[in-house]
Chains A and B, each alone.
Chain A
Amino acid sequence: MTKLTMIIDLSRCIGCWTCAVGCKAENDEPIGIWWNRILTNGGNEMDTPSGTYPDISMSYMPINCQHCDNAPCVKVCPVGALRKREDGIVFLDWDRCIGCRYCLIACPYGIPAFNWRPPVQSPDNSQFRIGNPLVPVRPVGVAEKCTFCFQRVDAGNLTPACIEVCPAGARFFGDLDDPTSEVSQILQTKPTMRLREELGTEPSVYYVPPRNATRPQEVSQD
């Protein structure tokens, strides 16, 4: 058995959005859709420090699909377009999705995004596709979300695009059931937390808390 797991080390994250851009390029995400987002702890705007001067700190919260073991989106999908794969990936079948957007409603992390219009890529990919050719093209009117780069995993490459491009080495990916893997090692040696664990969703994405900062808070209201 494999249990694919991602660890994001917030003490290393520099909030550069490279993972988001790499993901966008790999998976051909249209304008307006980001499978990977980097929130800033401290405010709604990018790069807002938290705390009051001079006691301020800067930390980030990259969020992608948490690939929950007890995934609310899989539970509510009326047509079974969202499925939990054997290896732990929550996969969205774009050919089956009817576009009811119930997964957008049910997801505690606000992950799935919806193709409100026929997808437009930038740069324009009508002549040639920039993304990975193994990723299916999503039509208008379906939801889409992070797949843990299933096309790479299926090809035996355990490096999703966001892991590959991260300049700070803040992201780790691997099989949790393998005790020698990097993720298993980190989980044993470092303190980790998961997002909104109290909901019982059992996410597969772990976070190493940032230095000099309290545990990542929900984005505060202005």
Chain B
Amino acid sequence: MKKGYDMSAEEESILQPLLKTGKGFYVFVGVLLILTGWFLYCWYTQLSQGLIVTGMRSVYNAPNYMTYGVAEGSPWGIYVTTFIFWIGISHAGIAISASVRLMNLKKYKVVARMAEVLTLVALPMAALSIVFDVGRPDRLFNLLEFGRFQAPMLWDLSAITTYFMGTIIYLYLSLRGDIDQLALRIPRREWFYKRLAMHYEGTETEKERHKQTLWWLAVAIVPIMVTVHSVVSFVFGLMIARAGWYSTIFAIYFVVGAIVSGVAAVYSLAWIFRWLYKWQSLITDEVLKGITWALRNVLIIYLYLWIAEELTMNYMGSSAELRVSDFLFSGRYAPIFWPMVIIGFAVPAIILLKPVFIKKIFNPKLTFIASIILNVALWVARFTIVVPSLLNPPLYPTGIYIPTITEVSIITGTFWMAVLLYVAFVKLFPIIELDVVEA
């Protein structure tokens, strides 16, 4: 392992996930693999039997006694909800990393790569959620062959693909120097790193060139990032047919919501790594405080937009919009809606706002809990955007949507796969940029 190369203590600390592998790791990965296997089985069930295994149903299925058990329901369900969720998670990654680069925030460089990898892992999961959702995944290439650019879904496809490619290039360029270094430090995987570094020399000109390209990529990626979530919102916000969706605020609302969930996810990750690898000296309280500051501010903007949206639906409301609003406030979805508001929004908001008023109380662990709650709450928030509007179609009676176990297994499967991919990355590459030490 040491083979003629001496690492500094800090470098060794950063590289410890690559150097040491404990028993706990194998157990963790084993459990994840079993869960992923279960997910694959459920997906196979869905592919072979059709989407009947989910809880989704058409808008109208005739009076119940004529339908042989097929009830009215929501044509989209937790697959689409999870699609929005993963897009949201993917948001912060490059956002944080690019702003670190553009605004030269050296302090936050330690979390930049964690965030980038998060984007890289979340985007394929978002794409997969859509693959689960469509009835004919075998015909997905029709999107390329016959794609119509008037359709919001195609905007999604193009925006996400662009974002994904941008992220890969961005991550690779920022990683290339480190990979080259790794070849020296971990000789047993030298062949792998050498090939991956693609003849990186490490000269000053080369470094400068990488830095410049990355800066320009960051400039390009920030607008793409805003676009991605805006077009996701257009899938809903442009639909005049559905009460509760047709709204100008939607693009902003979705983008801000995405930034909240993304920043919260980066905080959770930073805290987990700090706790797992004892990186208190690298990811300092100051860094966590900075992320909390950002999270707090975007959360306030998000809640403001959320209140504006809910109020608009409820206050005067066309009868159709009021129907959706009542469905949430006092109807069948109230048991989901109010816990989301109180536990999901109010409690984290209080936790995050507390240090503003009472000085010097910053509890990283409590903020970690708040960040996890926020992401769960935001998933529920997307659910309360997508499903209630679909369950209350104008002209028709209110429907029922209960996700099945298969559906839930498939959706949680994306989560296990995301964790697996992330773990694989952590085991192969340094999750903190190596030159953080030099700076």
Contacts and interface: CB of A to CB of B under 8 A. Distances in A.
A98 B134 contact: yes
Nearest to B140: A98
Interface in B294-318: none
B136 A142 contact: yes
Contacts of B36: none
Chain B: interface residue count, which band?
Answer: 35 or more
Interface in A76-106: 76-81, 96-102, 104-106
Interface in B30-78: 49-52, 54, 56-63, 67-68, 70, 75-76
Given A108-B241, A110-B60, A114-B51, A78 B143 contact: yes
Contacts of A105: 75-76, 239, 241-242, 390
A95 to B, nearest CB: 9
B79 to A, nearest CB: 10
Contacts of B76: 101, 105
A113 B152 CA distance: 21
Contacts of A111: 59-60
Given A98-B140, A141-B136, A117 B52 contact: yes
Contacts of A33: 58, 61
B60 A115 contact: no
A215 to B, nearest CB: 13
A156 B404 CA distance: 47
Contact of A218 (B56, B57, B320): B320
Q: What size tier do the contact residues of chain A reach?
A: 35 or more
Contacts of B59: 104, 107, 110-113
Chain A at the B interface: mostly helix, strand, loop or mixed? loop
Nearest to A76: B151
B382 to A, nearest CB: 15
Contact of B241 (A32, A45, A107, A142): A107
A72 interface: yes
Contacts of B50: 115-118, 140-141
A75 to B, nearest CB: 6
Contact of B52 (A98, A109, A113, A116): A116
Contacts of A115: 50, 135
Contacts of B145: 79
A199 interface: yes
A80 B148 contact: yes
A31 B154 CA distance: 32
Interface in B254-290: none
B68 A101 contact: no
A219 B395 contact: yes
Contacts of B396: 39, 110, 219
- 3 residue pairs, one from A and one from B, having the closest CB atoms: A99-B135, A141-B135, A110-B59
Interface of A: 31-34, 37, 39, 44-46, 61, 63, 72, 75-81, 96-102, 104-118, 139-143, 195-196, 199, 218-219, 221
Given A105-B241, A110-B394, 8 more contacts: A32-B70, A34-B62, A78-B143, A79-B145, A98-B143, A113-B59, A113-B61, A114-B75
